[in-house]
Amino acid sequence: MDPQVQKVVDELQERVAREAEQFSQGIPPDVNQLALAAGPETAGFLNLLIRAMEAKRIVEVGTSIGYTALWLGEAARATGGYVIGMEAIAAKHKQALDHIARAGLSDVVEVRLGDAKAIVQELAGPIDLVFLDAWKDDYFAYFDALLPKLRVGGCVVADNITFPKAFQETMRRYQEHVRAYSNVRSHLLSIGNGEEMSVRIG
Ligand SMILES: C[S@@+](CC[C@H](N)C(=O)[O-])C[C@H]1O[C@@H](n2cnc3c(N)ncnc32)[C@H](O)[C@@H]1O
């Protein structure tokens, strides 16, 4: 990992650990302030996947303060690629831009401020890789909007399939939904909070 990126990643990991500690102490969180980061296992996997696929056009739906975007950007710089993130909460969007700038990744990671449901409609294809990590009820709409823009061999990785438990029923329906497409091959990976990886095969 690039040391300038690693420094910001470490800083954000400390913040995520503090948030988890507050959770465990029963301190009520303000969800609009939380990083809600996918974590190093999932972000590290996405970093490798970008490199293995030589992915160039990468989309993150739900960027929060930019933790995973740093990992995506570090790999995108190696492939000559570009990341488009999106975040609805202005304070988080501002923090994401600051973290990305301090990591030296502003030239390869863009974060759009606004409703991802509208932003995904505006995106042009072909897209190599999508990371879905916004509110879970919306995953279906994001998948349906982005699949036609995905190149054949491109993939959508969706977070939180197995954790937290509160999302389980929605995520089971999401898996059913994506697996029903005849041009999609999809598999659950035991990485991080459970990742459904769906590849466009036709
Ligand atoms: C789980 S967090 C993302 C964490 C980030 N992917 C990471 O791993 O560092 C989900 C984020 O999606 C944002 N979000 C949810 N629905 C959205 C929407 N419709 N448009 C834009 N952002 C949205 C939330 O504000 C929240 O910050």
Ligand 1 neighbourhood includes 134 CB (under 6 angstroms): yes
- How many Å lie between the centroid of ligand 1 and the Cα of residue 94? 13
Burial degree of 27 (CB within 10 A; 0-12, 13-18, 19+): exposed
- How many Å lie between the centroid of ligand 1 and the Cα of residue 36? 8
Considering Cα of 47, then 52, then 56, then 62, what sign does the dihedral take?
A: negative
Ligand 1 neighbourhood includes 89 CB (under 6 angstroms): yes
- How many Å lie between the centroid of ligand 1 and the Cα of residue 87? 6
Question: Each residue of 5-29: pLDDT tens digit?
Answer: 999 999 999 988 888 787 777 776 6
The CA distance from 64 to 84, in Å, is: 13
Kind of pairing between the strands at 195-200 and 184-189? antiparallel
Residue 183, pLDDT > 80, answer yes
Q: What is the pTM of this model?
A: 0.96
Q: How confident is the model at residue 87 (pLDDT cuts 50, 70, 90)?
A: very high
Question: Each residue of 110-139: pLDDT tens digit?
Answer: 999 999 999 999 999 999 999 999 999 999
How much of the chain exceeds pLDDT 90, in percent? 86
Q: Which atom of ligand 1 is nearest to the CA of 39?
A: 8
| CATH code, domain with 21 | 3.40.50.150
> Which domain covers residue 123, as residue numbers?
3-200
- The SS3 of residue 28 is coil
Beta strands in 33-81 (DSSP E): 57-61
Q: How confident is the model at residue 80 (pLDDT cuts 50, 70, 90)?
A: very high
28 C-beta neighbours (distance < 10 Å), count: 7
Question: Each residue of 162-174: pLDDT tens digit?
Answer: 998 899 999 999 9
- How many Å lie between the centroid of ligand 1 and the Cα of residue 61? 7
- The SS3 of residue 164 is coil
Average pLDDT over residues 60-86: 98
The CA distance from 134 to 114, in Å, is: 12
The alpha carbon of 66 is separated from its chain's Cα centroid by a whole number of angstroms, namely: 9
Residue 117 makes CB contacts below 8 A (sequence gap 6+) with 138, 141, 142, 145
Domain count, the chain: 1
Ligand 1 neighbourhood includes 86 CB (under 6 angstroms): yes
Q: Which of 19, 30, 64 to mutate to test the pocket of ligand 1 (most atoms within 8 A of CB)?
A: 64
Give backbone dihedrals phi and psi of 58, rounded to 5 degrees, phi first.
-125, 135
